[in-house]
Every structure is written in C-alpha cells, then in structure tokens.
Chains A and B, each alone.
Chain A
Amino acid sequence: MTARIGVITFPGTLDDGDAARAVRHSGAEAVSLWHADADLHGVDAVVVPGGFSYGDYLRCGAIARFAPAMTSVIDAAGKGMPVLGICNGFQILCEAGLLPGALVRNDKLHFVCRDQWLRVENTTTSWSTRYDSGAEVLIPLKSGEGGYMADKPTLDRLEGDGRVVFRYVGENPNGSRGDIAGIASESGRIVGLMPHPEHAIDALTGPSDDGLGMFYSALDALGAVAA
C-alpha cells in the first residue's frame, strides 16, 4: 500500500509544491489539503509546509492555526498521526500547541537563506529514524523568524527527554536557544523544524539529498513500503 501524505496550503503558503515533490520522491502519494477544508481526505500523515501564511503580519502562524484544516490536524495528531511542520509550519504547530515554545525574529534581524549543517540528535521520532544518531546533514535554512525560544523549564524538559531532534552545527544562524533547529512532541510523532528538508531532495536543486530521510522515516513509521 502506498502511504498518503497530506500537504496543507494556506493563503501565503510557498513551499507546498516542494513538500509535495519531496513526498513523491520518497515514494508516497502527495495529497493537497486546502486550509478551508476540514476534511483531511484520509491521509496517513500531514506536512505543514513553509511560507508566510496570511502574510504573517500578526505573529507567524498565529492565524493559520485557526484554519479548519488545522483543527482537523490537531485532532488527528492527538490520535497519533505523524505531523511534520517545516519553517512556517513549525511556527504554526507551536501556535497550535502541538509543540512547545515559539520562534522569534533572528538575532541579526535579517532574513537568512543558507545551506546549514544540522546534527541529528534523536533518531527515534516518526520523522528521523532513517538517520544515524549524531549524523550531520546539510539542509537549507531560510527564515527571518527562526530563533527557537522557550522558558527554561521547557528547554530543560526538551533536553532531558531527548526531544531536540536537530541542532545547528557551527555558528548559530538565528539565536535559537541551545542551537535548536527542530524538536519533537512527547510522543515523537510530531516534529517541527526551521530548516527545509523539502529543498534537499536532489543535488541538482539543493545542497544535498539529506532531507529525504525525514520522508522515508515517516513511511517507515506508517509501516508502508517505500518505493
């Protein structure tokens, strides 16, 4: 059976096409989900892609979190459906309360687009089992509000429980606490990260194909057969 992975489009979503392409590259079927439609069309997992939902004029992800599709995602995630939030998608998952903390403006105040080395810190989540523990992967980072923030008890809990999934290697690009690039929910089914694995699926159009591992991992988690 081919896994079906949904990709949500909000007004202002930009990387939905890329996320769908990455899903297809991994061998799964990509299903377009529209923000205003609460029906998730029976998908097995969901990717909330990057962009500037609703322009992000308020607070990144603050409005998108209330979309009918997100209400259904929150509900399905509670029942164990794997969810990956990328960049703006990560911000939306934080706003939705599926992941703790928040993303704030980069410490240098500029948008940053660069090829970023990440260390894989946790290889047990639904989106990271295909990586070797401690592996370093090269994934584009492109964001203006990518600094991960949380209060100290939350950061201690994330570190203590091993829920930091990806960490920036080398110079911290945005002021993230603890060099955190991505985190997981308690269950490990929900992962959010600022870098863009969907832009690293082919050395022709990205710096590497290291990002595909996240999508393969999800297929493993779903028990589906990867192509």
Chain B
Amino acid sequence: MATETTLIDTTAHAAETPETAQPYAELGLADDEYQRIREILGRRPTEAELAMYSVMWSEHCSYKSSKRHLGYFGDTTTPEMREKMLAGIGENAGVVDVGDGWAVTFKVESHNHPSYVEPYQGAATGVGGIVRDILAMGARPLAVADPLRFGPADAEDTRRVLPGVVAGVAGYGNCLGLPNVGGEVVFDKTYAGNPLVNAMCVGAMRAEDLHLAHASGAGNKIILFGARTGLDGIGGVSVLASATFDGDESAGGRKKLPSVQVGDPFTEKVLIECCLELFAKDVVVGIQDLGGAGLSCATSELAAAGDGGMYVDLDRVPLRAEGMTAAEILSSESQERMCAVVAPSDVDAFMEICRKWDVIATEIGEVTDGDNLVISWHGETVVDVPPRTVAHQGPVYDRPYARPASQDAIQSATPDSLTRPSTPDELRETLLRLVSSPDLASREWVTQQYDRYVRGNTVLAQPADSGMIRVDESSSRGVSVSTDCNSRYVYLDPYRGAQLALAEAYRNVAAGGAQPLAVTNCLNFGSPEDPGVMWQFERAVHGLADGCAELGVPVTGGNVSFYNQTGDTAILPTPVVGVLGVIDDVRRRIPTGIGNEPGETLLLLGDTRDEFGGSVWAHVVHGHLGGTPPEVDLERERLLAEILVAGSRDGMISAAHDLSDGGLAQAVVEMALVGQCGARLLLDPDADPFVQLFSESAGRVLVAVPRTEELRFTEMCSARGVPWRKCGVADEQSNQLEIQDVATFGLDELREAWEGTLPKLFA
C-alpha cells in the first residue's frame, strides 16, 4: 500500500508525475479499472485516491460481478410488494412498515473470510458490523441471529473454527446486550477452509424516525464518532474479501496489524446508546456506519447520496497509531465508528450527548456546495474526486455464465437406487442415526453460549423455527425472523433450491404464528470467474426473485459473498434467505414443543412424496448427493402460512413445527423433546413408512391442536384446500415416543441421541 515517503502525494503532485508506477494490481484493481480511474480524474490518482477506489471498487463493496443480476430483484418487485417498504436495496438495510407506526429494519451480512483466518475476531466483528448497519437506519437494534456453516463436524480444523466463531458471536453479541434468537449451524465438506459466518440483525424504530444516510445542506458538519482510527484491518476489504489470503505485509515494508479487525463490544454498546440518544434529540441530518472500507466508504457514500460536495480534514481524525498515512487513515477498518452529518446549530448538543456517553466525537469536515469530495492531509489536498465515481460508478462485469456439463450427471444420479431401511428395526436404527447426526443434532451446545433473554422481549428463540421479538410492550406487537438455506438442494438445482430456501424461511416464520412480510438474503458462492458458479448465482437470484414475486413479499436488501472456494472446489451454493414476519399479538405465538394443552391431536398438513434428492438421509447414511431436490409449490406455502396465522390468531394451534431436514421423524422427535411430552405417531398403513418418516417434501407442517379445536381447524384446512392427516396424539403422561407398528423410543434415549452429539465433538 502506501509507501513511507516524506513527500505527500498530493493531487497537484499526481498531476505533475503521470508516469509514477502505482501498485494498483496489488490492491486488486485490474488494468482497465486503473485506466478508468485515470480517465475519471484526468490524471493518475494519488496514493490516497488509489486506496479509496481500490477498496470501493472491490467485489465486496462494489458488487461488480453480481450487480447485473441483482437488478432482477428490483425488476420483479411490483408496486403492491413495495407498499410496505420504507427503504429498500441500496440503503444500509431494508425497512418495512409493520403497522401501528412501527418500522422494522433487518439485514444479513457475511464475514466469511475473516472468520476463517481468525474465527473469534472475524465472527465478533461480523456481529458488530451488521448491528451498526441497523443503527445507521435510525433504529434500535433488537436482536441478532447467525447462520453459520463449517466443514465436517469431526474435521480437525472445524474444532478450531467452530468454537472460535461461536465464542466470537457470543462474546460480542452478549456484551452488546442483544438477544440471539436464531440462526443455523450446518456442516459440509465444501465449507472446510471456507466457513460461512453470516450475521443478521433486526431493529425497530417509529416510522417517522427513519434516518437515511446522506449529506445534504452546505455548511453542515461531518462528525466522526466512536473509536479511534488505527492500523487494523487495512486492506481487509480489497485483499481478504476479493481473492486471496495472502499476507498483509505492506508494499512499503511497514508491518501492519492483521487484516482481520479487532472488536470492542463495550465501545459499540456505548455507541448504540449514544446514537439512540442523538436520534431522540433529533440532532442528526444523516448518518453512516464505518464498516468495510472505513472512511473511504463512509465519506464517499454520504457525499454521493447528498446534493453537494464534501470537505474532510484527515488531520482531525483521532488516531491510535503513529505515523499513519492518508491512505491508511482512509482505508482503516477500525471498528465501532460512525459518521454523522449535523447542522451547525446542533453541533453543541451533539457533542454534549457524546460527552455523556464518553464517546470521542470530532468534527472532521463539512458539506460544501462544490461537486467533489475533497480531503486534505497536512494542509494539502490528497483527494479530489467526484464521490459517485467512488461509491456507485465502479466497474460492472458481465461475467460469463454457463450451466456446467456436470449438472446432468449430478441430476441423473438419483437416490432411488440407495438401499432403504424397511424392517421396524432398520427404521428404528435409521431414526436414531439421523437424530444424532451432526446434521440434525441439537444445536444447544452452540446456542446456550448466546444470551437469548436480554431486553426481556424474546418470545421465541432457538430451537423454535423462528426467533420472535416483542416490539411494543403496550400493544404486544412483535416481529419474527428465520434464516434458511439447504445448500445441497441449491447444488442440485439452484433455481428451485433458492425457492426452497425461501419457502422454508417463510414457513418457519408462519409456524410461529407470524405473517411473512419481507425478505433479505446473503448470497454465498464460489468464484464469479468460474462460469459454472456464475450460473448457480444467476439461477439462484432468479429463483429467489421469482419466488418472492409469487409470494408477494419484497426483497428489501441483501449481501453477496463470492470467492468462497479452495482451489477449484467451490462451496455448495448457499443463498441464505431471511424472512421477516409480523404478529399483532405475541401472546398468540405458536411454540414448538407439544404438551401445552391436555390431549393434543397431531395433524400433518401438506403432501408427502417420495423425495430424497439432497436429503439428510442420503447424505448421512449413504454419503450421496444427487438427483433433484423436492418440488416446491409456493401457492401451497402461502396457504399454509394463512392457516398457521389464522390458527394462531384464533387459538386453534397449540404447537407447530415445520418439516424440513430429516422430515416427519425429526419434527416429531423435536416437538416431543422440546415439550418434554410423550406422543404416539400413527403412520398411514397404505404408504411406505420409510417415505412417511424421512422424506423431505416441502410445504408441510406438523401441528398440535387442542382436541376441542380439532374439528374447527380441520374444516378450515379443508375449506382452504390444504390436505391434512390426523397422525397422532400428544400424551403428557408418557415419556415415550411411539411410532405405531414401527418402534418405540424412550424420550431419554432420544434426548441422549439428539443432545449428546455436539458436546462430544466440541466440549
């Protein structure tokens, strides 16, 4: 990066020395990208400008490989879908009107590569970053959730990465005082060397308090507040998140801190409270968090979204390292920093609030009536650029994409020829093997390291299908979230797999009793330079967008993470889908465990087909991945959600659990164990017990209804055209799960199988 010279590379100097060789390639810029910068500026960029462009034009910040396809989300969003959207793609996070004047904002972001290099800090700062994104919308962060993916559970490196990531999520999130209400833990060999650490945050505000990031009004002051700026994370965006894990020894020979940033959750907690007080006192015109690309990103995005230029004096930035160059200050990714635009008359009040919270706040510049973002250092101009060219006009690639020739072979290798269990003993053994597999075993070893209680509004949390948070204590209005993706399905058929991820998250939200309302995503894929990966990406985007249009739920934002691969082997394509739902009265939530009412009837809603492509059974028992994933019927999913929401509102359902990985067997085991209640399951004598127990057909939910509500509920299902089958009863007097004519299990036996696995691997 910047060489240590006594001469400051000013814009004037750059204009005089066009031939100076610049390390643009090391910074991740292609030849034509560098040439474009020279064309934009009419001269070579200064060191500081080159640092800004290189981080802002990196894949991570500019979405240069994905932008072309992401436009499809907007193309498929109808005016009706837009109705409840207060802010969408392009803002820090999407914002949705959830009624009663409340607006809710939510987003998922990846922090994959840093978490492989340094699991604890990578995961911790992932949480910190997403929380600041939510804060930058003017919302109070309410809860977090973390979809995580690792290599095989018994792999040596997973023992390094998983405990570190979980401790990092816990260490940062718990100290921030945000309940962790959900997420995922998934194991697959393609994630070895490429763990996925996605972080979700949900926040709420009064609709009129929405703060969008922009710098308007000449004369308004730019205030940087929060932590000091140091050498940490420099180059993290352009180097780490773009292509390689190569070291971070600077070109100039100066030793820098590791590229992975170090988090300080205490500073962030104080920053949250400070920001909320600043919002409440209405002393902020615009606000932006500092995340990837640090000040480069914050200043250029604020200026690009405003109506004028901006002047920033880097000498005023509070530093915690000596001898930093302008380029280093601009690209530092020191955590826990925010940038605000403040009217001159409010600066004193702003500073007073920051003093109360012991938050360092410094006026570093102002909005100007010029066109450019101008940055000075030691009294000389080191940056003078049109801000939009940095923030929004980065390169856009039309990467080639093509269905890989191998896809046909993958799909024709169906699981039909795999040996299936048939005798009662074999079925019994299969159930226990699946329940105790790392794929399906209880996640309690992970989730009990997370505080799910703080703030006292958590209504549902893991192991429930969705996390549910009360937003308004007086009205009991609440929201719920679920994130899902079965990447084996996506691998077999990216279009349908993405729709299945959407269907599952949508169904999980409805299973708690909430009406699904909006969608976010975190699209984790391999290298975009591989046409096969780009095809997976293009298909997944289309599948998700078309699915959202069919369900009438808008995509409000998202995140893309490419280059998740080792050598030529990419991860399974993993478009994590997050669905947000709203519930009028959280007291009507539907829990997961049975036994809440005396004598419940178990009803299976939906159709069960012989569908084992990408299933847990094929994966765990046969190490097989081939064929096609289950069919998806989004109209059915919509009807199911209607029934669940109506059933919750009218008190007809006392427990519900979505059927997904592991099918009916896994769902009934979890409902019994969570509810600490025995049950009897009656299979259809005319159908194959193996298919009934383990098929992963989508569009199904197992519900428990009080006996008194059974008739009313089943009549509603019939009237709405959703098939149902009475498949058993809960028995609170029993400590057994009996699957009639197949096997009987003690709940203790099941609990040991389900809960014993992760502690044995990781404790």
CA distance A142 to B175 in the complex (A): 11
Output the residue of A21, A51, A205 with the most chain B CB within 10 A: A205
Q: Are B449 and A199 in contact (CB under 8 A)?
A: no
- Residue A157 is within 8 A (CB to CB) of chain B in the complex: no
Would you call A55 and B763 a contact (CB within 8 A)?
Answer: no
- A20 to B, closest residue via Cβ: B456
Q: Is B4 an interface residue (CB 8 A)?
A: no
Instruction: Indicate if the CB atoms of B450 and A204 lie closer than 8 Å.
Output: no
Other-chain contact of A142, B167, B269, B453 (Cβ < 8 Å) = B453
Which of A11-19, A97-105, A176-184 sits within the interface? Answer: A11-19
> Chain A CB within 10 Å — which of B167, B266, B451 has the most?
B451
B471 to chain A, nearest CB (A): 13
List chain B residues, Cβ under 8 A from A140: 453
Task: Knowing A21-B456, A55-B264, A111-B170, say if A11 contacts B270 (CB, 8 Å).
Answer: yes
**A-side interface residues toward B, CB under 8 Å?**
11-12, 14-15, 17-18, 21, 51-52, 54-57, 108, 110-114, 140, 142, 144, 196, 198-199, 201, 204-206
List 18 A–B pairs whose Cβ atoms lie within 8 Å, in order of A's numbering: A11-B266, A11-B270, A11-B357, A12-B175, A12-B270, A14-B177, A14-B269, A56-B266, A57-B266, A110-B449, A111-B451, A113-B451, A113-B452, A114-B448, A205-B456, A205-B458, A205-B470, A206-B456
Known pairs A52-B175, A112-B448; list 19 more (Cβ under 8 Å): A12-B175, A12-B266, A12-B269, A12-B270, A14-B177, A14-B454, A52-B265, A54-B266, A55-B265, A55-B266, A56-B175, A111-B170, A113-B450, A113-B451, A113-B453, A196-B453, A198-B456, A199-B456, A205-B453
CA distance A17 to B270 in the complex (A): 15
* B456 contact from A11, A12, A17, Cβ within 8 A: A17
**Does B254 have its Cβ within 8 Å of any Cβ on chain A?**
no
Within B245-274, the residues touching A (CB, 8 Å) are 264-267, 269-270
The answer, yes or no, to whether B455 is at the interface (CB within 8 Å) is: yes
Interface residues of B (CB under 8 A from A): 167, 170-171, 174-177, 264-267, 269-270, 357-358, 447-459, 470, 473, 586-587, 763
CB distance from B134 to the nearest CB of A (A): 17
Complex CA gap A206/B452 in Å reads 10
Which residues in B have their C-beta under 8 angstroms from that of A114? 448
Closest CB in chain B relative to A102 CB, distance in Å: 20
B291 to chain A, nearest CB (A): 21
Contact B174 A111 (CB under 8 A): yes
**Closest CB in chain A relative to B654 CB, distance in Å:** 14
Q: Please, which residues of chain B bring their CB within 8 A of the CB of A52? A: 174-175, 265-266, 269
The listed residue (B171, B269, B453) touching A199 by CB distance below 8 A is: B453
How far is it, in angstroms, between the C-alpha of A21 and the C-alpha of B473 when the chains are bound?
Answer: 10
With CB as the reference atom, state the residue of chain B lying closest to A198: B456
Bound: A48/B450 CA distance, A: 22
Cβ–Cβ contact B459 & A11, under 8 A: no
Tell me, in angstroms, the Cα distance from A79 to B587 when the chains sit together.
Answer: 43
Given contacts A14-B177, A205-B456, contact A111 B171 (CB under 8 A): yes
Give the distance in Å from the alpha carbon of A198 to the alpha carbon of B171 in the complex. Answer: 22
**Complex Cα spacing A12 to B174, Å:** 11
Please name the residue on chain A nearest to B456 by beta carbon: A18
* B459 cross-chain contacts in A, Cβ below 8 A: 204-205
Tell me, rounded to whole Å, the shortest Cβ–Cβ distance linking B127 to chain A.
14
Please report the C-alpha to C-alpha distance between residue A140 and residue B357 in the assembled complex, in whole angstroms. Answer: 29
A87 shortest CB reach to chain B, Å:
10
Do the beta carbons of B454 and A11 come within 8 Å of each other?
A: no
In the bound complex, CA of A15 to CA of B453 (Å): 9
Alpha-carbon gap, A113 to B177, bound state (A):
13
Point out the residues of chain B lying under 8 angstroms from A21, CB to CB: 456, 473
